[in-house]
Amino acid sequence: MPITISSANIEERKTLGLHAGDTVRVWQKITDRVVEKDKVKEKSRLQAFGGLVLARKHGTEAGGTFTVRRVIDGVGVERIFPLYAPTIDKIEILKRAKVRRAKLYHIRKKATKEIKKAMRHERSEKKVPVLAEAPATVETTS
């Protein structure tokens, strides 16, 4: 009789085939604590975090992790998820990409360069229009 320590399906996650460059959506169980009239109620919900997998570390061993990066409102957000955590409900692989690196940390600088370039382009478009010369005033003699 096998002993189940975690609620995660370990064999399924080993064969998931998650690699750097994949676009994934990770569903995580989050427990919210609400205090009402001296009673603490716990509500659990699922929250999705989707993005690009930058790295996968420690392979298929018990401490294996993967890093997911996402840009939210122009700010890059990275989260490191343990592969076999019981709080992770499911991992959806949305798109697979062929990459030539095992760790895609250079994406951080690339995204920053693109944002700066877009901002420079935006500034140059917003030039202040030059007003035409004011019409000459006619002096009247009285």
Dihedral sign, Cα of residue 48, residue 51, residue 54, residue 60: positive
Residue 3 falls inside a structural domain:
no
Which ranges in the chain belong to alpha helices (H)? 10-14, 106-125
- The tens digit of pLDDT for each residue in 19-78 reads 999 999 999 999 988 888 888 888 899 999 999 999 999 988 889 999 999 988 878 899
Residue 2, in any domain of the structure:
no
- Tokens read off for 40: 């603490």
Two tokens, residue 56: 């996968």
Q: Nearest Cα to 76, choosing from 110, 121, 117? A: 110
Query: Is 55 inside any structural domain?
Result: yes
Reply yes or no on whether the pLDDT at 127 is more than 80.
Answer: no
Residue 76: domain span: 10-125
- The residue with greater pLDDT, 62 or 134, is 62
Domain count, the chain: 1
Instruction: End-to-end CA distance of the chain: give it in Å, rounded.
Output: 115
Q: Could you read off the pLDDT of 78-120 as tens digits, one per residue?
A: 999 999 998 999 899 999 999 999 999 998 888 888 878 888 8
Residue 139 belongs to some domain of the structure: no
The reply to whether 138 falls in a domain is: no
Whether 134 is covered by a domain: the verdict is no
Copy the structure tokens of residue 81.
């998820």
pTM for the structure as a whole: 0.72
CATH number at residue 103: 2.30.30
